[in-house]
Amino acid sequence: MFIEIPALFSPQEVAGIRERLEQAGWRDGTGTAGPVAAKAKSNLQLADDDPLGAEVGAAIVARLAATPRFVAAALPLRILPPRFNCYAGGGAYGRHIDAAIFGVPGSPERVRSDLSATLFLSDPDSYDGGELVAEFGMVRERIKLPAGHLLLYPSNSLHQVMPVTRGARFASFFWIQSLVRDQTKRSVLLQLDESIQALAAIEAAGEEVVRLTGVYHNLLREWAAT
């Protein structure tokens, strides 16, 4: 299922990022897809070593670390450096499943993709199409978020980006290795965390909040693997 992290960046911040990205040196995005996925892919990307991408990517990672809902939902162990893409002129990415393991540029480290993330950088009214569609078993979800909002979904899901038929859809995308690999367990922990936050607002629940917080940490201890 999709998890939305709203307003990672304000509309003003996103407008500033987009303005700079519009001037960037874009290149054909099929170069970074595997041979099978490349056949389905038609978009533009920034090179991994593009200095603008590195700068904005670092700002994204810093903002993620300071966003409690992201930390609670993803339980991140490692975050791959964010990449940037642009779909326009009918560009699309057909149904595919993301690669399981990614190398970290300039390092021998490898990261398992548990969660895929898309940070929407274009105002939804500024382009047609470009919805992210993912299939979770029999359920098909279709989504397009406001600029500055982040979407998380399990990396093992079949998904696609619909053709952009008007305007341009800028986004950042990246992958996360989670402390808790299993989506169901992450979902249980997120629900428990949200319930504890809600209960914490009720003064009479103080002792139970302490107990439930302990339960949360003990479950995380059991399920976290590195």
Interface residues with Ni ion (CB under 5 A)? Answer: 98
Closest approach, Cβ 155 to Ni ion, in A, equals 8
For Ni ion, the closer of residues 127 and 174 by Cβ is: 174
CB of 98 to Ni ion, least distance (A): 4
Q: Which of 156/213 has CB closer to Ni ion? A: 156
Nearest residue (CB) to Ni ion, 98 versus 193: 98
Nearer to Ni ion by Cβ, of 3 and 196: the residue is 3
195 token code pair: 């319930």
Smallest distance, Ni ion to C-beta of residue 105, A: 18
Token representation of residue 161: 């980006």
Nearest to 47 by CA among 67, 32, 65, 63: 32
d(CA 161, CA 130): 6
Residue nearest to Ni ion (CB): 98
For residue 165, the SS3 value is: strand
Nearest C-alpha neighbor of 8 from the set 117, 139, 138: 117
Those residues whose C-beta lies under 8 Å from the C-beta of residue 38, and which sit 6 or more positions away, are 30
Whether residue 145 contacts residue 151, with contact meaning beta carbons closer than 8 Å, is answered with yes
Instruction: Supply the minimum distance, in Å, between the C-beta of residue 216 and Ni ion.
Output: 31
Q: Using CA atoms, how far apart are residues 197 and 159, in angstroms rounded to an integer?
A: 32
Give the type of residue at 51: P
Shortest gap between Cβ of 220 and Ni ion (angstroms)? 28
- Tell me whether residue 98 or residue 114 sits nearer to Ni ion (CB atom): 98
